[in-house]
Structure 1
Amino acid sequence: MPEIARFFGIIIRMFYNEHNPPHFHAEYQGNKAVFDFHGNIMKGDLNSRTATKLIREWIDLHVNELEEDWALAKAGKEIKKIAPLD
């Protein structure tokens, strides 16, 4: 599963040939969660309010890029990296 971003110990990945709705996988300190592009947790728990808040801020900044990566993944094309939070 390609890594598309990494910031503050959070790893963001997106699978190829995934099911709808569009989403990505986040990992923080061994905990995993699946987020949709609105910031909702679909599955799992990062056990960190701070990490969840940071991911939601990142989504707000990069929702268009996430949608582009989702389209690329669905088409079997290479997914692009997305800038981390600074």
Structure 2
Amino acid sequence: MPTISMFYGIVIRMYREIGGKHNLPHIHAEYQNDEVVVSLNGDVLEGQIPNKKLKLVLAWLEIHNDELYANWQLLSNGERSFMIDPLR
């Protein structure tokens, strides 16, 4: 699963999910041993990470929404995703 960003100990990944259980654009955010799946609209689809870290992920998602949708489109077309700047 390609890593597209990392910040404050959080790893953000996005991958092509043909026939997967989440049928909408989303990211996977991992922090330590926890993982949350968040739609690009900001809805938590599955899992959990500490609330403070989730708030950072949601802020990052809002800032980089256009880039995230562009990555989703690339992956949907079988192309490579690109890195997105971390939250600073």
Give your verdict on TM over 0.5: yes
Gaps of 5+ in 2: none
Matches within 5 A, 1:35-50: 35-46=38-49, 48-50=50-52
Pairing 1:36-75 to 2, within 5 Å after superposition: 36-46=39-49, 48-75=50-77
What TM-score does the superposition give when structure 2 sets the normalisation length? 0.92
Asked if 1:4 corresponds to 2:43, the answer is no
Aligned CA-pair RMSD: 1.0
For the residues of structure 2 that align with 1:55 and 1:23, how far apart are their CA atoms? 12
d(CA) in 1 for partners of 2:32, 2:17? 26
Matches of 2:27 and 2:43, distance apart in 1: 11
Partner of 2:17: 17
Counterparts of 2:32 and 2:38 in 1: how far apart (Å)? Answer: 17
Shift of 1:17: 3.5
SS of 2:41's partner is: coil
TM-score, scaled relative to structure 1:
0.94
**Aligned mates of 1:21, 1:60 — CA distance in 2:** 17
| Whole-Å separation in 1 of the counterparts to 2:36 and 2:3 | 14
Q: Percent identity over the alignment?
A: 38
1-structure distance, mates of 2:43, 2:35: 14
Per-residue Cα deviation, 1:23-53 (whole angstroms, up to 9, x for no partner): 011100110010001211100111x111000
Q: How many residues align?
A: 85
